[in-house]
Amino acid sequence: MKIVSFYRFTAVSDPAKLQADFQPLCEEHGFLGTVLIAEEGVNGTLTGGEKELQSIFRWLEKELARSSFVIVRTHKSDKYDRYLADIFYLPGNNDPDTVTARGRYLNQEILDHGMAKVWGE
């Protein structure tokens, strides 16, 4: 079992419909966790099998296709086995290889703009 946290700021025109579509998929795969869906985007933490989590993220990305492409790269987990993620994006580009190679590093931008602080390095 893996734990993943995720978010995506994007316009969601009908949060109730997205939730109604998303909930059965989570139940079908036996995920545990919390997912908040609002007009401003999606934010959540889920636990489940790695293959199933990848499947749900592909579905969610398809549902939010009108948003800019986002790459979430995980490279290790913390002491609670939660993935630590680096998030890259490149406005106007939908090629995963280009976004991975030349994308903007959202984590650092959040820190640079004072929207988060480094905690307990």
Query: What pLDDT shows up at residue 67?
Result: 46
On whether the CB atoms of residues 71 and 9 are closer than 8 A, the answer is: no
* pLDDT of the residue at 92: 73
H or E element, residue 53? helix 50-63
pLDDT in tens, the chain (121 residues): 788 888 777 777 888 888 888 888 888 888 888 888 888 788 888 888 888 878 777 777 776 664 455 666 666 777 777 667 777 777 777 777 887 788 877 778 777 877 666 766 5
Q: What angle do CA 111, 114, 116 make, to 5 degrees?
A: 60
Decide if 88 contacts 105 (C-beta within 8 A). yes
**pTM score above 0.75:** no
pLDDT at position 118 is 72
Q: How many CA atoms lie within 13 A of 104 on its CB side?
A: 12
